[in-house]
Chain A
């Protein structure tokens, strides 16, 4: 099997790679958003702590 044959998927390239592409995109987005949520939460906590310190 050559790489061109592999990519061609016997004429089903659009369907097979489309399906794998959508899956990868949606799952990667889930992981990225989960990471961002934790960072955002920690940043917000630090901001509040700094504000409280500058007030005191």
Chain B
């Protein structure tokens, strides 16, 4: 296990293996998104209360799950980088932040577009909405802190502390609908229980899986680019760049 982590933690090994996986992951993600959109927008029924507006759920809920999942992964990667000094973990944490911020932004905007016709308001200072907004600020603060330091090690350390401390917000968001009497509806899905009819559950689950995969694809793409930037003085990166230039895949 440790051997494997160290091998995969080596930037060159990571770059090679992820390069082989990426086309398959991107293909699977595209297929699942197309299937999820077909099921969500066309095949699934309109809701008897919400009519067609319920279709916003198929992007809002998977984005919200991603916004929390990515934060936890970012904090975990930052902690691993902080404790064991693994460069690749620092990179994974750093590049996850803008992706997580994107999904949080999507969650807030689609929620607002859903709230207006259903609740009659774009925004309400309710526990769920407010804690999700704080999540966006945590991501943005993390990104700002990353770029505030010239020294990459220092930037990784300082922002790792913020990411780990900020992780308390994740359970607050998750349980906010139970702890407080909120405008936001309580969760309808849990292990073994579902208040959602299968005709709506399937598109939701498929969109959720495709969004998770999309995160992995963007994460790998960004991590690979970051590896090239940080390892630019190493021979293998130089050779790779020359080989790509030789095939006219990249111009200087």
Interface residues of A (CB under 8 A from B): 6, 9-12, 14-16, 18-20, 22-23, 26-27, 29-31, 34-35, 37-50
Contacts and interface: CB of A to CB of B under 8 A. Distances in A.
Interface of B: 41-42, 46, 51-53, 55-56, 59-60, 63, 98-99, 102, 105-106, 109-110, 113-114, 116-117, 214, 217-218, 221-222, 224-226, 228-229, 232, 237-238, 240-242, 244-245, 250-252
B224 A38 contact: yes
Pick the most buried of A10, A16, A19, A29: most chain B CB atoms within 10 A of its CB.
A19
Nearest to A48: B232
Main secondary structure of the interface of B (DSSP, over half): helix
Contacts of B42: 6
A10 B242 contact: no
B225 A34 contact: yes
A12 B221 contact: no
B113 A18 contact: yes
Contact of A50 (B224, B232, B252): B252
Contacts of B59: 19-20, 23
A35 B222 CA distance: 8
A37 B222 contact: yes
B99 A12 contact: no
Nearest to B56: A19
A-B residue pairs, 3 tightest by C-beta = A46-B252, A34-B221, A37-B225
A16 B102 CA distance: 19
Nearest to B245: A46
A16 B56 contact: yes
Contacts, number: 106
A18 B245 CA distance: 41
Contacts of A34: 218, 221-222, 225
Contacts of A41: 225, 228-229, 232
A34 B249 CA distance: 17
B2 to A, nearest CB: 30
Contacts of B237: 45
22 contacts: A6-B41, A6-B42, A9-B55, A10-B46, A10-B51, A12-B52, A12-B117, A15-B116, A16-B55, A16-B113, A23-B110, A26-B105, A27-B106, A31-B217, A31-B221, A34-B218, A34-B225, A40-B225, A45-B237, A45-B238, A48-B232, A49-B242
Nearest to B98: A30
Contact of A15 (B56, B98, B224, B229): B56
Contact of B113 (A11, A19, A37): A19
B28 to A, nearest CB: 15
Contacts of A27: 102, 106, 214
A23 to B, nearest CB: 5
Given A23-B59, A26-B105, A42 B53 contact: no
